[in-house]
Amino acid sequence: MSKQMFVILNFKAYSAFEGARAVNAVKLAASIPARGYSIICCPPASVLSECVKSAGGNTLVFAQSADAVEPGKHTGKTTLEQLKSIGVKGLLVNHSENRISFNQIIFLLNRAGKLGLKTVLCARNLSEVRKFSSLRPWAVAFEPPQLIGGRVSVSSAKPSVIADGVKAVGGKCLFLAGAGVNSREDLTASKKLGASGVLIASAFSKAADKKKFLRTLLV
Ligand code: G3P
């Protein structure tokens, strides 16, 4: 049986996903009959709660980040406990555009583990992939920073790093790849190289017809 692939749709702070548009995108993802794929949407913090209510089927909602603090005296912070309380199932940690310290990474992984939240720990090179996988997150996501937001995908520009990443992780956690991913061919190639999934942001945000984009990608 072919293995389940995870497709993480990171909404970032794109205006295409402000307010109700993020909620609609989650509803759309949940309506796609994507056999063999699990879709994980990462909406902005401002609409997480509504997005969680709109998920379902094969679609989950993760946060784009959390702050490495316990509940308490921390103005402006988002705790893991807050995410858990609204039904978020996991989060991105240390995304290339939102890097945090190693101690903060450890804090978030430990606490998320206790709360039953899945963690996607982002790495920007192979040595980080190796180091981070030994921390046993749910998944390590490798995204070459120079390809993020472009039209050239990691699976076409740097296929060998996907295979090397899979090897570096050595089955300790899932291995995901991202940056420039925009087509079904990218998904197929990533899968063939051993990845358990991909992360996509700009291609989805820019797609004028988001339903068509997801259907072409996944159905
Ligand atoms: O988190 C996913 C992301 O960084 C990849 O971005 O725009 O290259 O698909 P993009």
Q: Measure the CA–CA gap between 69 and 143, rounded to whole angstroms.
A: 26
pLDDT along the chain (219 residues), means of 10: 87 98 98 94 98 95 98 98 98 98 98 98 97 98 96 92 96 97 96 97 98 96
Looking at residue 118, its pLDDT comes to 98
Q: Is 95 a catalytic residue?
A: yes
Q: Which of 18, 50, 81, 95 is catalytic?
A: 95
Cβ–Cβ under 8 Å, residues 102 and 123: no
Looking at residue 57, its pLDDT comes to 87
CA of 74 to the centre of ligand 1 (A): 30
Q: Whose CA is nearest to atom 5 of ligand 1?
A: 179
Looking at residue 2, its pLDDT comes to 66
Q: Measure the CA–CA gap between 120 and 109, rounded to whole angstroms.
A: 9
Positive/negative CA dihedral, 11, 17, 18, 20: negative
Task: Supply angle C-alpha 140, 145, 150, rounded to 5.
Answer: 115
Looking at residue 119, its pLDDT comes to 98
Sequence-distant (6+) residues with CB within 8 A of 35 are: 219
Ligand 1 environment, Cβ below 6 A:
10, 95, 143, 148-149, 178-181, 199-203
Looking at residue 34, its pLDDT comes to 87
Structural domains of the chain in order of their starting residue, each with its CATH number: 5-218 (3.20.20.70)
Looking at residue 163, its pLDDT comes to 96
Q: What is the pTM of this model?
A: 0.97
Atom of ligand 1 nearest to the CA of 201: 9
Residue 163 in tokens: 């295979």
CA of 201 to the centre of ligand 1 (A): 4
CA of 73 to the centre of ligand 1 (A): 33
Residue 40 in tokens: 């994980």
